[in-house]
């Protein structure tokens, strides 16, 4: 059994850790409120705009819909969205694991040929893929410092330009979608080419006939790029809110575990102290008996 001094040092150390994790939990809770409000306000607009985009792309000719052209996926671009800091459970590891699964299954042939490239958003993804010699064509580790649409738009524009030039045939986003403070859902979402609307079960597919005003060309040149930028911005907001939710949950569990450990250490300390007292009493009694004898 460890001596009393060692146990006291461990109790003090674990107590300090519990204070740090509790403070981090409160900070993440405060940041989560702002991030949650942002994604909740943004999501209905982004979803409806994406629906319009899908219907619009389905109604365009192949020559008009440059962002809806389906090509053989010879070159693939994966956009991995993580956080800049750790201590948030499996938040970052899940994204990296999903990227690995895509490379080993869906895009195994392209990966073996070296035709799977990466765009990393967040320091954790940048460090991991750079260290492991992946082809990272662009990284952004500062976007979450005051995240807004103007910061997300240039990244989307670069990806769209590369797709339009034929540098990539498929672009997919991998990120965590915010569900609630305790639950984050890992998403793999095709960014380009734009997918047609999915048929709803038990409902007949309806063809959407649009009247273009002022003209189809202007609508295509304005709405589709804006919708794609909004889609990426929504993914970033989702990931940002998910990060704070994951960190708050992780720090809450860490604080609870630290408190439980302190209880166990105090119990061990009291047992050791009682054993030491009992031993001293026995020594005193034994000495007294020896003197009396």
Residues classed as catalytic: 88
Give the separation between CA 34 and CA 125, rounded to whole angstroms: 24
With beta carbons less than 8 A apart as the criterion, state whether 236 and 148 touch: no
Strand partners, 184: 178
Instruction: Tell me the C-alpha to C-alpha distance, in Å, between residue 89 and each of 20, 83, 131, 132, 248.
Output: 16, 12, 21, 22, 10
Task: Give residues with Cβ within 8 angstroms of 144, minimum separation 6.
Answer: 83, 84, 122, 236, 240
Cα torsion for 190, 165, 225, 36, to the nearest 10°? Answer: 40
- Distance of alpha carbon 50 from the chain centroid: 21
Choose among 84, 151, 155: nearest CA to 119.
155
């Amino acid at each position: 059994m460890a001596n009393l001094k060692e146990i006291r040092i461990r109790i003090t150390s674990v107590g300090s850790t519990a204070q740090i994790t509790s403070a981090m939990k409160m900070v993440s809770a405060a940041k989560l409120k702002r991030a949650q409000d942002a994604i909740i306000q943004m999501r209905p607009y982004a979803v409806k705009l994406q629906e319009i985009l899908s219907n619009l792309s389905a109604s365009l000719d192949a020559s008009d819909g440059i962002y809806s052209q389906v090509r053989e996926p010879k070159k693939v671009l994966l956009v991995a969205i993580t956080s800049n800091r750790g201590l948030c459970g499996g938040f970052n590891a899940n994204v990296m694991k999903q990227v690995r699964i895509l490379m080993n299954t869906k895009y195994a042939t392209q990966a073996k040929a070296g035709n799977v490239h990466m765009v990393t958003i967040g320091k954790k993804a940048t460090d991991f893929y750079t260290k492991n010699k992946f082809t990272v064509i662009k990284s952004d580790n500062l976007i979450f410092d005051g995240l807004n649409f103007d910061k997300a738009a240039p990244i989307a524009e670069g990806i769209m330009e590369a797709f339009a030039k034929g540098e990539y045939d498929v672009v997919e986003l991998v990120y965590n979608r915010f569900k609630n403070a305790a639950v984050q859902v890992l998403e793999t979402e095709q960014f380009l080419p734009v997918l047609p609307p999915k048929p709803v079960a038990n409902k007949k597919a309806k063809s959407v006939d649009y009247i273009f005003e002022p003209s189809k060309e202007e609508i295509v040149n304005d709405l589709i790029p804006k919708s794609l930028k909004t889609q990426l911005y929504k993914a970033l907001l989702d990931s940002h809110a998910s990060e704070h939710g994951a960190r708050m949950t992780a720090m809450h569990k860490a604080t609870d575990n630290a408190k439980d450990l302190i209880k166990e250490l105090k119990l061990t300390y009291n047992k050791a102290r009682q054993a030491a007292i009992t031993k001293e009493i026995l020594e005193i009694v034994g000495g007294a008996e020896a003197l009396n004898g």
